[in-house]
Structure 1
Amino acid sequence: MRVTEPPLLSLRGISKRYGAVQALEDVDLELHRGEVVALLGDNGAGKSTLIRVIAGVDPADKGVIEWEGQAVHIRTPRIAQRLGIATVYQSLALCDDLDVAENLFLGRERRRPGVRGRLFRLMDNGGMRAEARRQLDALGIRVPDVRAPVASLSAGQRQTVAISRALLGRPKAVLLDEPTAALGVPQAGHVLDLVDELRDRGIGVILISHNLGDVKAVADEAAVLRLGRNNGFFHVPTTPQDRIFSSIVGATSNA
């Protein structure tokens, strides 16, 4: 008998309310290893709220979340990170005055070996820069100098640095909130190449996007939200783009 591996992440009946506003109601979603799921919907559909639920920023009011087949309670971002969930928000949360390596290791700084029990030890800047260079090269990220301030980078380079920082914790799932928004075509292409690389590494990716061209380029599945509810699930390679668009604007559904 063939044993089917459970989804990496499974959401069932997720609901979230903010005061009088029902942001999510009975939302389902599945993500498997090495799969890119596009999370689509018009403004106010509940996409960002669902990402915050998964990331532990705004825990769900109701519903079940399973991680690798086991029910979990993701009440804080730290719990999500411990499970292996990394999130890259549209704001990126990079520090402009720090260089690329310092941004990658922000909050995970490494120190030089020193006297055991010594309270203060110098930062291992050389080691962090070498590791940053290895990580960026392995991902095909084009940043000429890891000592360059993030403020000097292009928008596309900043986006890829933010994604690379998320990968330092060796996550199993990465949540990307509009990673190609406001990028030119070449820069967006570099980010989409990186999404392909994540899939090839067996990492599950949830991708929020308004760009159906980007979705068609990299996504395996698409889940459409409308007014906080599921409004369609689609196999992206075999589904016409106009059918997905119709679900987004409410003309049709495939729930």
Structure 2
Amino acid sequence: MRFDVLTIFPGMFRGPLEYSILKRAQDQGIIQIHIHDLRDYATDKHRMVDDRPFGGGAGMVFKPEPIFRAVETLIGGRSVPASTAVILLSPQGRVFHQREAERLSRMERLILICGRYEGVDERVAEHLATDEISIGDYILTGGEIPAMVIIDAVTRLLPGALGHHASAQRDSFAEGILDYPQYTRPADFRGLKVPDILLSGHHAEIERWRRRKALEKTLRVRPDLLARAHLDERDRALLDEIKAEQASRRRGDPSTDKPTA
């Protein structure tokens, strides 16, 4: 897969893309990352990429010409290929999530447009970008960090990018729920002990414990995820069990005050 990033701060990408999984994926030829200075596509001698907004208002707005010129240069024309996504990173976009990462991982090329200032001329969103994406309901200084987030999330899903394919499949959100608790040595740290079940060697029971813990945490922290999660009958039975225990605790039933670890 090829990533093209359009930004006025290309130096921001030098560090984060040169470590760990992203570096290995580049070294192995799984991904290519090209950072482009948007100012190189400006149409005036001062390399201006922004201007005052029509109608007045504070701040500056990214001009359409440099962005259109950059994208059209990269794709070799005005028609975006079906295998390419042109993504405008914007707080007005739809929120990025794991299923969106999975969809994008099936593309051959992603062109990421990093906005700044008060925003980007609306003609970019309406007539050039195939997608307008936000990484959350908060405001960032620019689109560079969201671009890094998308590159990282998508790369993890590409064949060969991770040492174990199961790692990507079992990541939080990959199945629509949060991950189960993880422990490593020592088994007893300052009196804080690893749950006995994980030391038992009973793999089927360990898997059941992990699944229950994942469902329990999702129900507590992100119950909204359960509505669209991939749950089977055993998962639903575990959820019913968890909810029944929680209801009993709220009623003050002492019989439910038992450890689940």
- TM-score bucket (shorter structure): under 0.3
Superposition TM-score, scaled by structure 1 size: 0.26
Greater fraction strand: 1
Relative contact order higher in (CA < 8 Å, ≥ 6 apart): 1
Superposition TM-score, scaled by structure 2 size: 0.25
Greater fraction helix: 2
Q: Which has the larger radius of gyration?
A: 2
